[in-house]
Amino acid sequence: MFFPYKDDNPRILFPFVTYGIIAVNVVIFLGQFLISGRDPQMGAALVFTFGFVPAEFNPLTIFTSMFMHGGFAHIIGNMWFLYIFGDNVESILGHVKYFIFYLACGVGAALAQFIIESTSQVPMIGASGAIAGVLGAYMIRFPKARVHVLAVLFIFITTFVVPAQIVLGLWFLMQLTGGLGSLGVDTTGGVAWFAHIGGFIIGVTSLKYFQNFQIEKV
């Protein structure tokens, strides 16, 4: 298992949007946690109401599902990746375009999962699809940025520094392998692999468009 814990890539802009997204996700998760602790049925109802259920396609829940998480490990992992890589992508796009880019990657991620599992009744929640888009953009724009990685192999723990293109390329390969391996398998309660794959591909392919896209000031 490997886990990036920081990069050496200086940012240009203060990442207001990245920090804001993290804050909103944390607040919503804490609300979920408190509600579920008091009334587990109500907590489950929230997930089914605001999570994205492919078989009950609802465009609104594509957005609400991006800000919900299924547990502490889920939200910590997602927010940590966004914290490390989001600030630099926000710096190259600017605050407004970055926010639109983030949402677009999240929408694309949900649609990718929908295409693969359109009859699934399992609600999909989490920011990982949108964050996958951020990772894809980071890999394309900063391929040689130094990323510090914590590696755990059984009882051995070590750290090393590698280029972003290797770390994020391996991450994508893991998602692709997991996704292909899940085809035809009951993935109830598992990982939405194709949301990760879709979000990453959209981040890679749309970054240049968002960089060139001009927002008119009124």
pLDDT tens by residue, 44-60: 999 999 999 999 999 99
Q: For each of the domains in the chain, give its residue range(s) and CATH number, in order of start.
A: 10-142+193-212 (1.20.1540.10)
124 forms bridges with which residues in the sheet?
52
Exposure on the CB side of residue 186, measured as CA atoms within 13 A: 2
Please report the pLDDT score of residue 218 as a whole number.
43
The sign one gets for the Cα dihedral 9, 197, 53, 99 is positive
pLDDT tens by residue, 150-186: 988 888 899 999 999 999 999 999 999 998 887 766 5
Q: Which helix (H) or strand (E) element contains residue 17?
A: helix 16-38
Please give the biggest Cα pair distance in the chain.
Answer: 59
pLDDT tens by residue, 6-65: 999 999 999 999 999 999 999 999 999 999 999 999 999 999 999 999 999 999 999 999
Distance CA 202, CA 8 (A): 25
